[in-house]
Amino acid sequence: MGRRALIVPMDLIDPASVAALPQRVMDEWGRIDVLFNNAIFRGVGTLDRIADLTVESMTNLMKGNFMHQILLIQQVLPHMLAAGGGTIIDMVSGSARLDPIAPPGEGGWGILYSASKAAFARVAGGINAEYRSMGVKAFNVDPGNVVTEARKAIKPDDEYGDNYGSEPAEATGKVVAWLATDPGAEKFLGKWIFAPKLCSDLGLLPGWEFRAPGQ
């Protein structure tokens, strides 16, 4: 496609690995214009029920989904500020705002996961309060319920789509690209952006229209 990608392995639980990634990008490309925090911690505790949570699982998941995400942002901010601006887009989750309709594994999610994503959802607002005047802006993007190929393979009988709707991953991709490049995105600062609805409203994915569950 005439584009170049740089693949840098990163372990969200290893602070040294997280801290080293932005410098690797700077060494290769010399600038960081956009940071899209799409990575999440996958490990013990994500789908555990309350009685099964341990100090270790809670600590690791909060590190991976919240603390070390901030660590990554801390490494990127100086480069963006030096360049006069940049965009940070945080992938949040509806589980941070909604109660599950069932226990984990039965149509619901673990409270540890949703709690970590709720904490992460507060970061974009803090970035805007502290750095917007210096050219750095941040957005929260909720992808909705995306049934990926990996999820289908792991849980072929998953019925989440019946209860929460099911949206294409492409809708979120289009919205993230739009937020990173279009000046009109400014009006969405400080808002919870539901990617499927915004993608549909803006017509970013021709031939596809968002429909809420039950419509």
Task: For residue range 177-189, list pLDDT tens digits in order.
Answer: 999 999 999 999 9
Q: What pLDDT sits at residue 211?
A: 82
Q: What is the C-alpha separation between 94 and 37, in angstroms, rounded?
A: 16
What is the H or E stretch that residue 83 is in? Answer: helix 68-83
Where do runs of H (alpha helix) occur along 134-214? 149-154, 160-164, 169-181, 195-202
**Tokens 């993230």 found at:** 176
CATH 3.30.70.1530 holds for 15-202: no
What pTM was computed for the model?
0.90
Report the pLDDT value the prediction gives residue 85, as an integer from 0 to 100. Answer: 97
Distance separating alpha carbons of residues 72 and 57, to the nearest angstrom: 21
Report the pLDDT averaged over residues 84-103.
Answer: 94
Percent of the chain at pLDDT > 70 equals 90
pLDDT digits (tens, 9 = 90+) for 115-171: 999 999 999 999 999 999 999 999 999 999 887 666 666 666 665 555 555 788 899
Looking at residue 170, its pLDDT comes to 93
Domain residues of the chain, as ranges? Answer: 15-202
